Structure 1
């Protein structure tokens, strides 16, 4: 049966080759397209998960309503508002820092956490004045929660804890100020207080928005500069299992007034873009597979039409309907199997060539966040490509196989006589 199926395919080499080539290109196209899209998604997800907190606890901004003041004024009387309250309260510190520290220490799901005090301030050097965000951190704890240490261009982030008013400045902000590592910069707080700090290091993340606005100092330094002794504005957390981030954040938010948000909740809009990309990928895959299926159907349909006499002879010597169906399905699966295997090899070779290919240049603000092509080597891509090609080939072969099984040997021989 197997050798007979091969002989029938070889008897029409041009159609067989074109169908085989279509399967090969379809499989390779799926591998390359999926590798590129999933590689981009994996890179961005890694940036979001590792470069920032997996869970962030911050003060909640409350929108003012009539219920916000219930019991505050005249608790034993009914209050009628001439103009209902509006706006919101901008809280700048957590409600129960010590309580959070105790809870995080006892929760086995937490791998590490770090306190922060973040403030928007003004930075001056010479005649240049620029706004920026000053992050007060505990370097030892921060390095366990995020990968900020990987982006230190000059200096050692742990130097922030060695005393003295020193800062690590984003490369873009430092260049705009016209300063260099080792220079002294002035920091102007919201109440007009001016503090002198020394640039001990440079951080270059590759994201212009971060590099042109971020400054890091020790927690104690920021508390002193902003006159906020003992105040913590955020706690950033890393979990042992990042997939539990949303579940844990939702659980914690039930017993606190603070805002508890996981990374996937914070970047929901970006993840929705990933869903759109997956829809585009699936649609493209369906189109490719549909074209491949039509190619297989056309080839086997022509084989049925041109091999009616041979089919009649096979039926006459004992082939039944099921044998005929098997014959053509073997041909379809054979095309799909060989085409899929070679398609996977071609796709993998193309992915290897594209992985690390330069796609972005450098600017005065430093390198782009993603300046080379990222390719995913997830085995699921190759497994899906193989199964789609083989299964589609089998299904596409069944229709002409079914038609061939219905042919009557007597009518075929009589019609060709």
Structure 2
């Protein structure tokens, strides 16, 4: 019974100040709406970027190098000695991952793990008196389909043709346009050692990334070993695991076991992923400021009602209302403004998302027009709505508490 009376009193007091109530509701709703729009854009772009990293590259790459140089024997023998070793020359060793075939075989025995030995290097692709510097990757076509998105990005041909065509090579669409290369054309590939080889175009892919489309090529592993004059050598083992989030732990265990530098996709892109944290902090700070301004509007309207209704409050308390009851009435007003602002803010946020989804733009380094990738989940709505209710109740709490402290005897005597 009390809550029905309290709700009717709260509604009546808000209705008596329609203009201020409307301004407060609009303030909250705009804060919620902009929070939903910005949060959906930021979260969507972060998820899309992370997904691209996960899909377009191996989760873990083992390289034929070591994270830390080997400790000199003299420092091992005398770890606490005051020793200085000058003019040391690093020991030269044959680059490549030792016994890579057995390592790949062992990794593929693990459930859900895909592993591939690869050899990468630099070459020059020449055609019709034009040269383009490119990276070449010697791969296993059957496994590359699962490690990257190259096969799904193919415009013409396929990775499988690398197996069925002698000296086949797959190039990007940017390189194809630069050199005028078409399917089945013969391009001249020149290596740093001076080897010149004619190779047939068996596939053209379009990744949408300028660096890949103009500067990445794929050949069979054995052809890369011939091109780069590194027979029976692989300088990378590329791995994909069932859960990409476990890549750092998995890479650390492989590095501890075999010693070779093992880089997870998180380590390679740590700087870029760190930017998302800073960007989100800035975004949420700006939107929070909007919500705080809206909260002051709620604080203002309820404080004004308390000041104007002091006599009514005194009469209510003399009729049997307790301080807690009075406080609850004004807190209900804050909750009502918060709920109305939340619902209207959800509508505004949904409308803003529909407008943003129609925006198209060109990103430097990308060959296609892009649009905003939006997070369409309920999460931004839930966070924005919760923030609106919390800020509304927080803004109403102090004036409601002051209303509960009104002494009816003093007010009535003063009025008399």
The aligned counterpart of 1:320 is: 322
Aligned: 1:262 with 2:264: yes
Gaps of 5+ in 1: 72-78
- Alpha-carbon offset, residue 61 of structure 1: 4.9
2:12 to 1, 7, 15: 7
Inter-CA distance 90–342: structure 2 relative to 1 (3 Å threshold): farther
SS class of match (1:359)? strand
CA distance in 2 between counterparts of 1:329 and 1:161 reads 73
CA distance in 1 between counterparts of 2:353 and 2:209 reads 26
CA contact (8 A) 1:61 1:89 kept: no
The aligned counterpart of 2:110 is: 107
Q: TM-score, normalised by structure 1?
A: 0.91
CA contact (8 A) 2:66 2:259 kept: no
- Alpha-carbon offset, residue 8 of structure 1: 0.5
CA contact (8 A) 2:97 2:234 kept: yes
The aligned counterpart of 2:80 is: none
- Alpha-carbon offset, residue 358 of structure 1: 0.5
CA distance in 2 between counterparts of 1:6 and 1:90 reads 82
Aligned: 1:32 with 2:59: no
The aligned counterpart of 2:196 is: 194
The aligned counterpart of 2:385 is: 386
Inter-CA distance 68–259: structure 2 relative to 1 (3 Å threshold): farther
CA contact (8 A) 1:60 1:259 kept: yes
Alignment of 1:12-411 (within 5 A): 12-61=17-66, 67=72, 83-85=87-89, 92-108=95-111, 110-355=112-357, 357-360=359-362, 366-367=367-368, 371-411=370-410
Inter-CA distance 305–249: structure 2 relative to 1 (3 Å threshold): same
CA distance in 1 between counterparts of 2:382 and 2:237 reads 41
Deviation per CA, 1:75-119, whole angstroms, max 9, x where unpaired?
xxxx98552336x968642123133123312323x4322221111
SS class of match (2:361)? coil
CA distance in 2 between counterparts of 1:154 and 1:106 reads 33
CA distance in 1 between counterparts of 2:321 and 2:263 reads 67
- Alpha-carbon offset, residue 55 of structure 1: 0.9
CA distance in 1 between counterparts of 2:70 and 2:289 reads 53
SS class of match (1:254)? helix
CA contact (8 A) 1:65 1:85 kept: no
SS class of match (2:257)? coil
CA contact (8 A) 1:300 1:400 kept: yes
CA distance in 2 between counterparts of 1:96 and 1:216 reads 23
Q: Which moved more, 1:54-63 or 1:15-24?
A: 54-63
CA contact (8 A) 1:122 1:129 kept: yes
SS class of match (2:160)? helix
SS class of match (1:179)? coil
SS class of match (1:311)? helix
CA distance in 1 between counterparts of 2:126 and 2:73 reads 40
CA contact (8 A) 2:14 2:333 kept: yes
Q: TM-score, normalised by structure 2?
A: 0.91
CA contact (8 A) 2:104 2:117 kept: no
The aligned counterpart of 1:75 is: none
Q: Which moved more, 1:131-140 or 1:145-154?
A: 145-154
CA distance in 2 between counterparts of 1:390 and 1:57 reads 50
SS class of match (1:237)? strand
CA distance in 1 between counterparts of 2:299 and 2:18 reads 15
Aligned-residue CA RMSD in angstroms? 2.3
